[in-house]
Amino acid sequence: MLTRDPAVFLQRALACAPDAGPATARAAFLVSPDGFARAAESAQDNVYMAKGGFDPGAAAAEHRALHCALVASVPVITFAGDARTPDALFPNNVFATTSGRLIVGRMRHPVRQHEADRPDIRRFFTDVLGYAETDLSTQAHPCELTGALVMDRARGLGFCGLSERCDAQGAALMHAAFGLRATFVFDLAPGEYHTNVVLALLAGRAALVCPDGVAAPDSLLRVLEQLYGDGVLTLTAAQKRAFAANAISLDPGAVWMSQTAREALVPSQLGRLQALGLAVRSVPLEAIEAAGGSLRCCVAEIF
């Protein structure tokens, strides 16, 4: 079921037991920031991207440290980057998985569409892991996977924010590809490009959300509060700009975010996450964040 109606979505979602699959991934992969630079096409609709000051060496060092840190939660592999695709260090928009299936997204900008052509990543899943493939990259509707679609994997629920990076048909294609039980579709606020900078769902029991990032925030907040109760933490616009919502749980006991994001949270928010059984782990990503994304954007989950 795919709907814009919060009441209809809630009726279905509240009936969904957390038995659709594991709440967190069994592994993850990254793509090295080789050729790290400002992508002019992506900058057209990514207000988080810096205008200059890109440091390839610093980004590479941060990325390596990120890989080393994340192995505390799951096995992690890193694929080589490509200087022709400077945004490739954010692979979660292009590649995603469900159990036994690789999904390839359709990117809005041509510079990112080239990322979907990576035969090594595709063959790793199809030839090495034996995954089936759903390829959405050649159809006309943008659907930038877990950038646009934030999921509660345990319940089989999706939250899809529409923008230039994902239209309504793209949302429907992703809903089907991920085999979701119900997806709530809503408009992002003007200027927002991805849902995962305004909303994070953590291990199926908590949510970080910035109301300013959504065109009609009351509906989304009502849905989240019904589903996650005291596990909903609202963020300020400043915390959103610090990428506090660009976070991910890779194991049931932790939430990963950048150091900038963690420092933006106040003690009461950090305490709430700890009380929910989510240890807050962070990695410095200041150089990488100049490219308009943060930790969650760097991580493609393997289910």
**Bridge partners, 254 (sequence order):** 251, 279
pLDDT digits (tens, 9 = 90+) for 231-288: 999 999 999 999 999 999 999 999 999 999 999 999 999 999 999 999 999 999 999 9
Reported as a pLDDT band with limits 50, 70 and 90, residue 5 is: very high
Domain count, the chain: 1
DSSP state of 212: G
C-alpha distances out from residue 151 to 86, 118, 155, 170, 252, Å: 26, 25, 9, 15, 15
pLDDT, residue 43, reads: 86
What is the DSSP track for 82-123?
Answer: -TT-TTTT-GGGTEEEETTEEEE-B-SSHHHHGGGG-HHHHH
pLDDT, residue 140, reads: 97
**Bridge partners, 214 (sequence order):** 188
The chain-wide mean pLDDT, for the chain, equals 97
pLDDT, residue 269, reads: 98
| Tokens coding 112 | 């990112």
Judge contact between 46 and 301, C-beta under 8 A. Answer: no
Judge contact between 18 and 155, C-beta under 8 A. Answer: yes
| Tokens coding 284 | 């410095």
pLDDT, residue 268, reads: 98
Residue 207 has pLDDT above 90, yes or no: yes
Q: What range does the domain containing 188 cover?
A: 2-302
45 vs 57, residue with greater confidence = 57
pLDDT, residue 238, reads: 98
pLDDT, residue 100, reads: 97
pLDDT, residue 216, reads: 96
Q: Give kind and range of the element (H or E) at residue 60.
A: helix 56-70
pTM for the predicted model, two decimal places: 0.97
- Residue 208 sits at φ, ψ, to 5 deg, of -110, 125
Strands of the sheet with 232-234, listed across from one edge: 199-202, 206-209, 232-234
Domain CATH code at residue 168: 3.75.10.10
DSSP state of 127: I
Range 192-202 average pLDDT: 98
Dihedral angle, C-alpha 260, 74, 21, 269, nearest 10 °: -30
Length of the chain equals: 303
**Bridge partners, 24 (sequence order):** none
Residue 106 has pLDDT above 90, yes or no: yes
Of 206, 199, 213, 283, nearest to 245 (Cα)? 199
Residue 51 has pLDDT above 90, yes or no: yes
pLDDT digits (tens, 9 = 90+) for 111-124: 999 999 999 999 99
